[in-house]
Structure 1
Amino acid sequence: MPSKTELPLFIGLMTGTSVDGIDAVLASIGDDHFSLLGTLSQPIPAPLRDDILALCQPGSNEIDRAGRVNLQLAGHYANTCQTLLTQAGITPDQVRAIGCHGQTIRHRPQPPGFSVQLGCPDSLAVATGIPVVSNFRNKDMALGGQGAPLVPPFHRQLFARPDQRIAVVNIGGMANVTLLDTGQLTGGFDTGPGNVLMDSWIQQHYQQAYDRNGDWAASAQPDSTLLTTLLDDPYFHQPPPKSTGRERFSRDWLNAQLANHSLPDDVIQATLAELTAHSIRDALNNFQPDHVLICGGGAHNRHLLERLQALLNTPVTSTAEHGLHPDWVEAAAFAWLAWARMEGKAGNAPVVTGASREAVLGQITLP
């Protein structure tokens, strides 16, 4: 690992559609270099998580509620950064910038598209004394793109191989794929729900945050008729570029799909796991990867990984076996995107998002 003075240091912050915590990384980054110097995950307090989830659907008094969450999130982001730096023995003046994705509460990719993330960058910059790069998605959308996914260029830097076709599958609340063909980034898009529906269903019935190891899903057989109903949603048949979120695949969406099905709760959970596995398999059918790398929270769902392995008939392994633990890939990507912004380098990939051109992404907020 290089000394801390050789390359600039960046912090990456990520809170995803699972709304299960704040992931933070400290990294040294250069044109052909990326290494982690520290990592930290902090829980989001339950009342704040409830407020965030409520804002993900239309409701009353949204602007005031969003304003409060915006400031509260910034405070938690700042505390996370300060703890991360303390643990790493690094002072704020040694960090060039924080790449803060923020918490998405709306993502509307269809033109005229927009994406809204909360987590006040001004408050974060003032509290930490470090420049903040934020609002990564809307420049790509202004150029006609989806504004998502944004992590494929980072995946290319870390995981591309000149002699292999590699698919990187991030399974967070939503799932997305990055297609790397013999070293080149050739595509990427959201495949649909990752953990979001499975998490919601087990929270509703057992008050658990997630299905640990996929044990509940593995305890029953999926229902093929329900699976067909779920996969009939037009999103799964829409060609890329495409992206999605809780706005579409919500508990209300699931309840509407279940209206004509009377099934045990465990069978529904098993079928939701199949929905994630089948939608990922279908997304990769034309690409035919030599190897599939998994990152995100879904990398810990043993049952889901087993189902993917069975459906894909190709090696399925964690990104940990290729240099970066699956829990830190997305936060690391936003550290890298902050580096790209500060260096004036393009952060998007038109072949992924559909934007009319490459662009430098993100806005800089000084302390």
Structure 2
Amino acid sequence: MRVIGLMSGTSHDAIDAVGADIVLRDQTIHVYLIGQLSRPYPGSLRSELIAALPPGTVDMATVCRLDTAIGQAFADAADAAMREFFGGSAELIASHGQTMYHWVSDGTTRGTLQLGQPAWIAERTGVPVVSDFRSRDIAAGGQGAPLVGLFDALWLAGRPGRAAALNIGGIANVTVTGDQPVAFDTGPGNALIDAAVERCTGGCEHFDHAGVRAARGQVDAQLLEILLAEPYYRAPAPKTTGKELFNHAYLERVLDGRTLSADDIVATVTALTVRTIADALAPLHPTEVIASGGGTRNPTLMALLGAHLDGAKLCTSDELGLPSAAKEATAFAVLGFLTAHGLAGSQPACTGAKRATVLGSITPGAAGFTIPAAAAAAPQLLRVHHV
């Protein structure tokens, strides 16, 4: 099946698209990567989107506008990807949409909201769309995140030792392999780093380019200890978090009354990301950590992380043949493929759900939607290939 995977994560900066030929054969999913592209959100849309995120408040008119505008932006990215990778045709589009709110209360996920109306994608491309992946896992008692747990477990199956997949987006998440895989959000990835940079540049810059500010700054030990006292870090897995907690207001609250240089703040929240990832992984004893996401482009963060992993080898998913910038879009392409074939896309051990479920909702294409023949058995492995 020729699939377009679409993803925009918790950094809210761009829509990533991948094109993949996906084949399930002998309980192995083969993912043949055709190409990848990224489309930044228009500046005005990104500004309205960020203003609507917690702790902001919005009316339903704004929600409606965002659902439409994000859906249209996803449709543009899908159309461009379909033309570039498949000559204008595909069989399925898997759209994660844009997470606006992930409702967690007392450690239980109650609901989730991703905007980006899939009808715009289906109408623009004529291709069926799978969307709203997280809600079904939540309805089955799961956290709804990180949903890449099944992908990671299949992808890393058979590697020597104990492998951990780490994605450093706005929020960082890990999947650690074993007889019973474990997956959870460790806490902020780039979220507080980006917030600190935007704070000290008046919004003129949105991230720490090449980790320069963190490298120049000094970690404030007292502030770091205050940040590490956040109860989330000691909550048991499975667990999930987001910018509902780790946002601009959170940073302002912990900085209240403190006089620090801009670079020292960035250095300190970068150290927080490193410490919380390393501390979360330590009890799981991985022998290798395979990183992806925007954080891998921050050499200061990556160098610090490598020094804190207690002997585990740190590499990027690029070194295993999966471009780090495309990993999550590829994962959702696979989840869409599984949904289209009536196969579960969740891993209860990773999300805490009562059972594995078929994820998402299907919006038919111009010719409707034909359910493919059911697979004889669930996949046990996943292999990535380049065309």
What TM-score do you get using the length of structure 2 for normalisation?
0.89
1:319-363 CA-partner distances (Å, limit 9, x unpaired): 011110100000001100100100111111111111111100010
CA RMSD of aligned residues (A): 1.3
- Residue aligning to 2:376: none
Map 1:207-286; keep pairs closer than 5 Å. Answer: 207-286=204-283
Task: Answer yes or no: is the 8 Å Cα contact 2:6–2:96 preserved in 1.
Answer: yes
State yes or no: 1:20 paired with 2:17.
Answer: no
Q: Which runs of 5+ in 2 are unaligned?
A: 366-387
Q: Which residue does 1:97 correspond to in 2?
A: 92
Matched to 1:345, the amino acid is L
The alpha-carbon distance between structure 1 residues 59 and 289, as it changes in their structure 2 partners (threshold 3 A), is: closer
Give, as a single letter, the amino acid of the residue that structure 1 aligns with 2:122.
Answer: A
- Paired letter, 1:125: A
SS of 2:182's equivalent in the other structure is: strand
What is the letter of the counterpart of residue 340 of structure 2?
A: M
3-state SS of 1:150 partner: coil
Higher RCO (C-alpha 8 Å, min separation 6): 2
What residue is the counterpart of 2:356 in the other structure? Answer: 358
CA gap of 1:310–1:61, structure 2 versus 1, over 3 A, is closer
Q: 1:327 aligns with which of 321, 325, 328?
A: 325
- Once the two structures are TM-superposed, the CA of residue 159 in structure 1 deviates from its matched residue by 2.5
The structure 1 residue matched to 2:346, chosen from 345, 348, 361, is 348
Match in the other structure for 2:169: 172
Q: Is the 8 A contact 1:125 1:131 kept in 2?
A: yes
One-letter identity of the residue aligned with 1:17: T
Q: 1:188 Cα shift?
A: 0.6
* Equivalence for 2:38: 41
Q: 1:99 to 1:185 in 2, by over 3 A?
A: farther
Tell me, in whole angstroms, the C-alpha distance in 2 between the residues paired with 1:162 and 1:201: 38
Identity rate, percent: 40
Inter-partner Cα distance in structure 1 for 2:350 and 2:163: 15
8 A Cα contact 2:102 2:109, kept in partner? no
Match of 1:299 among 296, 313, 316: 296
1-side partners of 2:184 and 2:147: how far apart?
9
Q: Determine if contact 1:159/1:322 at 8 Å carries over to the other structure.
A: no
Give 2:22's aligned residue: 29
* Corresponding residue for residue 71 of structure 1: 68
The alignment covers a number of residue pairs equal to: 356
| 1:34-89 superposed Cα distances (whole Å, 9 cap, x missing partner) | 12112110110111111111221255542110111111111111111111122224
Question: 1:50 is aligned with what amino acid?
Answer: S
Residue 62 of structure 1, aligned match among 59, 62, 68 = 59
The answer as to 2:184 corresponding to 1:186 is no
Instruction: Report the Cα offset of residue 297 of structure 1.
Output: 0.4
SS of 1:88's equivalent? helix
Q: Structure 1 residues 71, 338: closer, same or farther in 2, change over 3 A? A: same
Q: Which runs of 5+ in 1 are unaligned?
A: 1-7
Would the alpha carbon gap of residues 265 and 26 (structure 1) be closer, same or farther in structure 2, given more than 3 Å must change? same
Q: Which residue of 2 aligns with 1:5?
A: none
Cα distance between partner residues in 2 of 1:186 and 1:237: 19
2:4–2:82: 8 Å Cα contact kept in structure 1?
no
> Match of 1:358, SS?
coil
Shifted more, 73-82 versus 322-331: the winner is 73-82
C-alpha distance in structure 2 between counterparts of 1:165 and 1:60, whole Å? 43
**Aligned to 1:208, what secondary structure does the other structure show?**
coil
Task: Give CA-to-partner distance per residue, 1:281-314, whole Å, 9 cap, x none.
Answer: 0110111111110000001110001001111132
- Shifted more, 200-209 versus 264-273: the winner is 200-209
